A and B are shown apart, each in its own frame.
Chain A
């Protein structure tokens, strides 16, 4: 039997915790980790459809974030703006079937509910130089007054599409397509080297 709540990360065999790069005397500029076992479900619906708005509110416990680049949070669940008619629900629930089923039940079939829990590898980047590392990769404005906690942006880093969520001032989640995960991980490590970086244990959830 397999425990379906213990999922294999795309980085499983490339992941070594420890401190790397430039000497940082215990104060790494960057911390890297992979977040495993998240439920990620894409929801696509019409933003002017009240039934849809209500259904999502009842299923997620928060309003749909209509403002481009914004995130709504209800407990451990985040509802992340992806496009004018598309959002991404993310929770730490390890069995993705549950979140998908909850949303599917709540919505009628004009709404698309798509489990994408296995489609993304979620990397957590934090530390005082986290923004600098992002600046190396993405053509976005990462100024602390511009890209603030609770903001999301989809952009490109090292030729890969990445959805970036600002968790707090120095912490970011990177949603990377699974097949690109190793490439992105290597890029992040290279970009972090000059600041000294620490890879923590895999984060479950």
Chain B
């Protein structure tokens, strides 16, 4: 044998495949050969492989039904290892060398699936079965769940990190054309001719849409010649962007659409640095929807057998891929489109055993087929397909007068391919996502666009236009209109080339093919979700009236195909059951996306370390080089502690804490928010923002301030320094840096626009280093020309001068409760200053400390942070009542008189100390009188901060406790039922160290 692998269903010539480039691939572990240009589906069909999958619920054998993104059955798991990806439609997978695909939802194999037993007991699994198990019998639910979860479902997701990368792109254009078929190409050509910026997206690898899979002619030449010419013309225009392999998934407000471009999916692995997929967000002034139409299945018994296919798909396999889906076909139709298809198949060597047409009259389109001697049965239906894993034949029968029953006289016809055509459904998904209104069209038996809501228009078969010539003309017109609406006024529709113009004739609706009496054979509507006519009938019997509820109850149209082939059939069956007209029942809502999107594409580059930005201080590199352990603080990455050899984490933290109290430490506080205020009303503005006064703050001094929201709750705290008469520097907490700036901007733009104040964030300009401890003054006096003496530079003073030879500022403020200063130097010099401090203070044993030590120091001092500033505490709750000015208005002032803020039961800030001197106080614990009392135990408050204090040599904490200040010295419980921890605590002042402030003033 010279070439044993020539697939037996491949035509010797024709199609858009490249026979000089054979590709080997594997399906379910078996090797096959296809060609460049194949899809996995076409390559499998060429090899005679029809059994692709097992169905979702019943594990029935399923094959390939379509040739596009509407495919409900042929879903496979692609690739292996970390690139494994389940539930991919074989009809959309472009073949590449070495492709590996496997069937899913079957065990041990797709050919012999043990769970197919479910099909035999399917009458015990009606629609809503899952919900019904919730109700009765209750005790069985736990065992049902495991079984259902195992048996139902689809492929399994990858558990390893995805090695590929995904990209995002933003684009603006005048006209976005969705769909590169005849209407879309003509629309793009017309719009581009006007000079508009045009984007043309099509989900296939090749432009042409339906033309790729038909034997159509345009200008008496093969239609694909015309497609190639138009594509090349468009590609040559600088303002046209062509996006093949790109599905327009979602249509959002203001003409923003989201596209998914499969940049690397057709390659063995995305080559070099090409992303695997790219998401485009496109803002289009105008949109032309040329999304085509999808053929509907017919609903007869066993219509899900492999070998039962949509008629148009069989044509596509011939013309696009040179593949015969079978050799002996029966065609079952209710419209004329199947007659063109039959001729097309016949021309390519498929024997047409019979055409079964439910319409009473012979269509004129049938003539040329009967001329060829093909049997045509009018007023007949295929009521059942026959076969186990592949169709072997059909049972046909004439219809009675009303068309709702079989009238006997069955005939069996052998075949290996059953083509069905139940009419065509315009793809109105994007139109509907854009909130366009649809209209039911009686003769087309489908919904078509009626009224657009956004700046879009439909062209071609997605608006129910079937003839090729009409589609071309409609496209030209829509393209020109779109360009005109986008502002290109001298635009007109281009002349369109000559083409055929076949329509579908009169469709005779046939929503359910009648069955012989007592037949149990399933007629599927939604193939992916295994929803059959019986499920919808049951739902109607059980009282479901709304299409939206029926959808959820039966899972009709809820699969990854979003019911592209099933929605109209399902709706029609429900309408018949309810005795209503289809438009009265209405459609379910179309929601984005049109086809399933991968999480990788959605997250794009925002994953791993780039999931969110990381902010780093100017000293960050030093922290890294000294082995600091980091912790996130918002977006910032800040040193938590600096572990030395032989130390545990806690050793390091307590050493750093004690070192600050005994010697001197440095902590990087660059992340604290800093806001620069200038303008002649700056002092007045600060007066209105803080509860305390700033008008009389002298130049060269700073002051602690508390800011309220207008509802009276504390918003943030910080210091304000007066650098000049009309120049202030405000600090905020790290977390509130952004919100406080935004709040100040709001007040200046919206509330007090008359004030002359400019606020600018200065956080990034300044590297901030806190120098704390009894030796801090000595250290600083070595590196600055500022007079550091206690007399010249008092507590809460601010000085500007040279620091380590660079211009900077020193603020004498303390968060730790020790003698302390905060240095501010421009950021590019921050590392230099930090390193200089470390060098200059070597003999003073200067040492860095991290956030953990800083937190202990501030708890010991009773300073509050975000845990206490939690949006539910007032200034009085936190002990700042004395700061509240009565001589000026300020934000939040009026709310302080609200009854709820005046009542005596409010929770107040107190300190806690562990009574036994050794049991830690659990974080977030509740403060109660008796944790063993009757439940619910009355909760007096909660622990907001907790630590072991090296200074107190005991576990301490801060808490917000009901009437806390009156409870000092009371002994209560801090209990955390969640972690099963509890401790007896004594309430005390929150100032555990130096309550008089002698250390920081010394």
Question: A-side interface residues toward B, CB under 8 Å?
Answer: 1-2, 4, 7-10, 12-13, 21-23, 42, 44-45, 85-86, 96-97, 109-120, 132, 135-141, 143, 146, 158-160, 177-184, 186-187, 190-191, 193-194
Whether the Cβ atoms of B826 and A118 lie closer than 8 Å is yes
CB distance from A163 to the nearest CB of B (A): 13
B831 contacts the other chain (Cβ, under 8 Å)? yes
Cβ of B221 under 8 Å from chain A? no
- Given the complex, which residues of A lie within 8 Å of B724, measured CB to CB? 109
Q: Which residue of A lies closest to B725 (CB)?
A: A109
Asked whether, in the complex, the Cβ of B170 is within 8 Å of the Cβ of A136, the reply is yes
Contact of A193 with B605 in the complex, beta carbons under 8 Å: no
A196 to nearest B CB, angstroms? 8
Complex contact B616–A179 (CB within 8 A): yes
Q: Indicate whether B168 reaches chain A with its CB closer than 8 angstroms.
A: yes
Distance in Å: Cβ of B56 to nearest Cβ of chain A: 38
Could you list some 14 contacts between A and B, CB below 8 A? A2-B832, A4-B806, A8-B831, A22-B273, A23-B272, A44-B678, A97-B807, A112-B676, A112-B758, A114-B765, A118-B767, A177-B764, A191-B167, A194-B273
Check if A109 sits within 8 Å of B805, measured CB to CB: no
A116 to chain B, nearest CB (A): 5
Closest to A36 in B: B828
> Quick one: closest B residue to A12, CB to CB?
B621
* B807-851 interface bits toward A, Cβ cutoff 8 Å, 1 = contact, 0 = none: 100000000000000000011110110000000000000000000
Contacting A119 at CB < 8 Å: which of B167, B614, B764?
B764
Q: Report whether B197 and A143 are in contact in the complex, using a CB–CB cutoff of 8 Å.
A: yes
Q: Does B122 sit within 8 A of A, measured CB to CB?
A: no
Given A2-B829, A97-B807, A158-B605: A183 touches B680 (CB 8 Å cut-off): no
With contacts A44-B678, A97-B807, A110-B756 taken as known, whether A187 is within 8 angstroms of B197 at the C-beta atoms is no
A191 to B613 Cα, complex, angstroms: 15
| Known contacts A10-B618, A159-B613; is-contact A179 B636 (Cβ 8 Å) | yes
User: Is residue B171 contacting chain A, with contact meaning CB distance below 8 A?
Assistant: yes
Out of A1, A120, A191, name the residue touching B605 (CB < 8 Å).
Answer: A191
Beyond A114-B762, A119-B762, A193-B273, is A10–B616 a contact (Cβ under 8 Å)?
A: yes
B798 close to A (CB within 8 Å):
no
A146 to B283, CA, bound (A): 14
Chain A residues whose C-beta falls within 8 Å of the C-beta of B831 in the assembled complex: 8
What A residues does B197 contact at CB under 8 A?
143
Q: How far is the CA of A107 from the CA of B532 in the complex (A)?
A: 79
**Shortest CB distance B487–A (Å):** 13
Residues of A within 8 A of B767 (CB): 118
Smallest CB gap from A141: residue in B:
B172
| Inter-chain contacts of B170 with A (CB < 8 A) | 135-140
Q: How far is the CA of A140 from the CA of B171 in the complex (A)?
A: 7
Known: A21-B273, A186-B610. Is A179-B621 also a contact (CB below 8 A)?
no
- A120 CA to B509 CA in the complex, in Å? 68
Question: How long is the Cα–Cα vector from A191 to B605 in the complex, in angstroms?
Answer: 9
Give the Cβ gap from B434 to chain A, nearest Cβ, in Å: 20
CA distance A21 to B676 in the complex (A): 41
B826 touches A139 (CB 8 A): no
B940 at the interface (CB under 8 A from A): no
Q: Give 1 or 0 for each of B666-687: 1 = CB within 8 Å of chain A CB.
A: 0000110000101110000000
B981 within 8 A of A: no
- A22-B273, A118-B766, A194-B272 known; 16 new pairs, CB 8 Å cut-off, are A4-B806, A8-B618, A22-B272, A44-B760, A116-B760, A116-B764, A118-B764, A118-B826, A136-B170, A159-B612, A159-B613, A179-B670, A180-B613, A183-B613, A187-B610, A194-B275
A-B pairs, 5 with minimum CB distance: A7-B828, A112-B678, A112-B758, A44-B758, A119-B764
List chain A residues, Cβ under 8 A from B552.
none
* Bound complex: CA A12 to CA B197 (Å): 41
For B670, the chain A residues whose CB sits under 8 A away are 179
CA distance A140 to B923 in the complex (A): 46
B439 within 8 A of A: no
> Which positions 254-312 of chain B face chain A at CB distance < 8 Å?
272-275, 281, 283
Q: Which residue of A is nearest B802, CB measured? A: A4
What residues of B have a CB within 8 angstroms of the CB of A141 in the complex? 172, 283
Cα-based distance from A8 to B622 in the complex (angstroms): 13
Is the pair B679, A109 in contact by a Cβ cutoff of 8 Å?
yes
**How distant is the Cα of A135 from the Cα of B826 in the complex, in angstroms?**
33
Nearest-neighbour CB distance to chain B for A137, whole angstroms, equals: 8
Report whether A182 and B827 are in contact in the complex, using a CB–CB cutoff of 8 Å: no
Least Cβ–Cβ distance between B486 and chain A, in angstroms: 13
Once bound together, how far apart are the Cα atoms of A178 and B614, in whole Å?
Answer: 11
In the complex, what distance in Å separates the CA atom of A12 from the CA atom of B448?
A: 61
Task: For the complex formed, measure the closest distance between the CB of A31 and the CB atoms of chain B, giving whole angstroms.
Answer: 16
Residues of B with C-beta under 8 A to A136: 167-170, 605
A52 and B120 CA atoms in complex are apart in Å by 87
Q: Which residues of chain A are near B832, meaning CB under 8 Å?
A: 2, 8
Contacts of A112 in B (CB 8 A): 676, 678-679, 758, 760
Taking A1-B805, A8-B831 as contacts, is the C-beta distance between A120 and B764 under 8 angstroms? yes
Give the distance in Å from the alpha carbon of A115 to the alpha carbon of B808 in the complex: 12
- B5 neighbours in A (Cβ, 8 Å): none
CB proximity of A83 to chain B, nearest CB, Å: 10
Q: Are A158 and B610 in contact (CB under 8 A)?
A: yes
Residues on the A chain within 8 Å of B671, using CB: 179
Judge whether B765 and A113 touch: CB under 8 Å: no
Q: Which residue of B lies closest to A115 (CB)?
A: B765
Distance in Å from the Cβ of A202 to the closest Cβ of chain B? 13
- Closest CB in chain B relative to A28 CB, distance in Å: 12
* Contact in complex: A178, B172 (CB < 8 Å): no
A42 and B676 CA atoms in complex are apart in Å by: 11
Q: Which residues of B contact A85 (CB under 8 A)?
A: 758
Q: Are A13 and B621 in contact (CB under 8 A)?
A: yes
